[in-house]
Structure 1
Amino acid sequence: MSAYKFEDQRLIIVSKENGGLSSARNEGLKYVAGDYITFVDSDDWIKKDMIEIMVQEANRKDADIVTVFSKRVHSNKEETESLNNSCKTEYYTNEDCMSQLLLNKVPNYTWGKLYKTEIFTKFRIRFPEGKNYEDVATSYKIFNHCKKLVIIHMQLYFYFIRCNSIVHTKRIAEVYSMVEHVEEMNNYYIKNTYWGIYRLKIIYGAYMYALCLPFDTKKTIEYKKLIDKIVLLSNSIKTEKPLFFYINTPHFYKISLLKTRLTNLLAYIKRIISKQ
């Protein structure tokens, strides 16, 4: 890295003790001086013209956030999710920006996006240290201040997947992190029709991860307490807005399916626990 700094005086190399992903990002945010911010995780890589393409689109549309498509690459070098780059762009404003995140049209990963610096500096957004799934805990706060969003249909970011990574090796601590993030979300006001559905989707993910935990873990009191907390959260969110509230929305079918899956999954987990 020092060699690159010598060639380009604009670069700043920051050295620190390993404190995790959130700690590294927060440390980098202290030194930000430009108009835009982007994040690249340590194992990932990007196309050499990704930043140029994103900045050009950000300037052209005065966008608060620009996002591109990604491609997953496994540790065995096998690439997945092949997609032809169409060079198509989509443009959203105001509440529709948040809707793209809440409906999963834009993934809640922090990487693969270009942000106006002022979103982080003006609203003092930082990543939660000591927690897993930091992107889940942060993306909705960022998008809450997005008034102009551009989606570029080009695979410019490469997401490297290790078989033993945090995302793919489930432990009870990771599930607890997801639940704690949803608890924080419940205290965060967002004026959007799909805010409750987004939180239910995270809870659904927590349910699924809980099911993937080892059998010995499922026999513990801690696991049962975790499930009880998930159930309480799920029920509190589901009662915020009944299903008929979404009947005139364009995504009524998907919302109905999600709520049905949650109900069935909850009943299934309860049966498993009752047999232990």
Structure 2
Amino acid sequence: MPKLSIIVCTYNGENTLEKCINSILNQTFSDFELIIVDDGSTDNSNKIYEKYKAFDNRVRVIFKENSGLGDARNIGLDNSTGEYIGFVDSDDYIEPDMYEILYNNAIKHNADISCCRIFVEFMDKTIISPNPNGEYCKKFKISSETIELFWKENYYVKAMWNKIYHKKIFEELRIPKGAKFEDDLVFFQTLEKSKIVVCDSKSKYHYVQSHTSLIRGCFKKTDLELIECGNYTLSIVRDRYPNLIKFTEARVLGFRKRIIDKILDLDKYENIEIAQEQQKEIRFVLKEMILNNEMRLGMKCALISIAINLNFYKILLKMKRLLL
């Protein structure tokens, strides 16, 4: 049994797969299996898989019909045999010592989850590295207070891919099928199934933001799933973490603003009715929003502008884009 199972889910990823796979196979930590789950690709990805399978017996490939990232990750989990489990997105890549650091930290601190910080990399090759106040490797005992800290602060990025998880966490946990923002959906569940989490300040994961990203890019109606996800996490917070309600409400409003921004960025008035629906929801909670001390002043000003008039906000948005 390998010490680590690394799951890479991909769909038509031929342009980024080799960089991703090379960064994994060249790890200083070598006791792992690499499980590639192909989510119904129609490009030449299979040729890339075959090349790596031919010279490295740690590589396994599973093919499935297209049904989304969450379902692909579940299939990877179903087929994993490692003591710990990690995830890498196929358009991202990792530093050579990432898994050595994560695994050693997990063993040293008897941790159920071990995580590191990340680089955010844009298509123009600009790399932003988070700058914490000095280097650290912190051990956290999981409690309601710790989960609240992780939800609000940057010790613990909410994504699944800058971490390793002990296999016991996923014994009875799977990602909702078809979910687009599955990282948020399992954030609370994975922590609630843990006792110890260790966080390292070193940035070792390269999160590549492409123009087709779900978070950036042009508006698609599937982006509305971000609101569904936000409301889902808000329901969890209201039920179990009351101290996080205002913060999470501010986060959902931020999601609504993001959708409006994407729609208004286009010169055409397509999907304007969706922007108007988001505007209506913002107006409905305007008073609570103004009194929300967890929301930044700049965000409040933007949301107030949206509530006043979408055309007015679009002018402000264009002015902001010109100044950037």
Does the pair score TM above 0.5? Answer: yes
Q: Quick one: structure 1 residues 42 and 270, their matched pair in 2 at CA, closer, same or farther if it must change by over 3 Å?
A: same
* 1:13 maps to which of 43, 57, 61: 61
Partner of 2:150: 101
Letter in 2 for 1:268: S
Partner of 1:112: 162
Equivalent-residue separation in structure 1 for 2:120 and 2:307 (angstroms):
35
Partner of 2:77: 29
Once the two structures are aligned, what percentage of the paired residues are identical?
20
Q: Quick one: structure 1 residues 49 and 166, their matched pair in 2 at CA, closer, same or farther if it must change by over 3 Å?
A: same
Q: Quick one: structure 1 residues 135 and 84, their matched pair in 2 at CA, closer, same or farther if it must change by over 3 Å?
A: closer
Equivalent-residue separation in structure 2 for 1:160 and 1:170 (angstroms):
17
Deviation at 1:149, TM superposition (A): 1.1
Aligned residues: 259
Deviation at 1:270, TM superposition (A): 1.6
Assess if the C-alpha contact under 8 Å between 2:117 and 2:200 holds in 1. yes
Unmatched tracts of structure 2, length 5 or more = 1-48, 314-324
Partner of 2:259: 210
Q: Quick one: structure 1 residues 112 and 178, their matched pair in 2 at CA, closer, same or farther if it must change by over 3 Å?
A: same
Equivalent-residue separation in structure 2 for 1:197 and 1:115 (angstroms):
29
CA deviations on 1:119-167 (whole Å, 9 max, x unpaired) are 1223x231441x4333223323322323211111111111112133222
Equivalent-residue separation in structure 2 for 1:81 and 1:53 (angstroms):
18
Equivalent-residue separation in structure 2 for 1:57 and 1:191 (angstroms):
29
CA RMSD of aligned residues (A): 3.3
Equivalent-residue separation in structure 2 for 1:55 and 1:257 (angstroms):
35
Partner of 2:32: none
Q: Quick one: structure 1 residues 78 and 274, their matched pair in 2 at CA, closer, same or farther if it must change by over 3 Å?
A: closer
Q: Which sits farther off after the overlay, 111-120 or 158-167?
A: 158-167
Higher strand share: 2
Q: Quick one: structure 1 residues 76 and 261, their matched pair in 2 at CA, closer, same or farther if it must change by over 3 Å?
A: closer
**Secondary structure, in 3 states, of the residue corresponding to 1:43?**
coil
Deviation at 1:25, TM superposition (A): 1.3
Assess if the C-alpha contact under 8 Å between 2:92 and 2:207 holds in 1. yes
Equivalent-residue separation in structure 1 for 2:312 and 2:75 (angstroms):
48
Q: Quick one: structure 1 residues 231 and 132, their matched pair in 2 at CA, closer, same or farther if it must change by over 3 Å?
A: farther
Deviation at 1:89, TM superposition (A): 0.3
Q: Quick one: structure 1 residues 74 and 213, their matched pair in 2 at CA, closer, same or farther if it must change by over 3 Å?
A: closer
Q: Counterparts in 2 of 1:177-216, with a 5 A limit?
A: 177-188=225-236, 191-215=240-264, 216=268
Partner of 1:248: none
Equivalent-residue separation in structure 1 for 2:61 and 2:109 (angstroms):
31
Assess if the C-alpha contact under 8 Å between 2:217 and 2:262 holds in 1. no
Assess if the C-alpha contact under 8 Å between 2:227 and 2:256 holds in 1. no
CA deviations on 1:207-226 (whole Å, 9 max, x unpaired) are 33033123345873333223
Equivalent-residue separation in structure 1 for 2:282 and 2:121 (angstroms):
32
Question: Is structure 2 residue 78 aligned with structure 1 residue 41?
Answer: no
TM-score by length of 2: 0.67
CA deviations on 1:174-216 (whole Å, 9 max, x unpaired) are 5421211122224336633543134224213213303312334
Partner of 1:75: 123
Equivalent-residue separation in structure 2 for 1:177 and 1:121 (angstroms):
27
Deviation at 1:271, TM superposition (A): 0.7
**Secondary structure, in 3 states, of the residue corresponding to 1:57?**
helix
Assess if the C-alpha contact under 8 Å between 1:75 and 1:162 holds in 2. yes
Q: Quick one: structure 1 residues 264 and 151, their matched pair in 2 at CA, closer, same or farther if it must change by over 3 Å?
A: same
Partner of 1:168: 216
Question: Is structure 2 residue 320 aligned with structure 1 residue 272?
Answer: no
Deviation at 1:265, TM superposition (A): 4.1
Unmatched tracts of structure 1, length 5 or more = 244-254
Equivalent-residue separation in structure 1 for 2:93 and 2:170 (angstroms):
23
TM-score by length of 1: 0.78
Assess if the C-alpha contact under 8 Å between 1:25 and 1:127 holds in 2. no
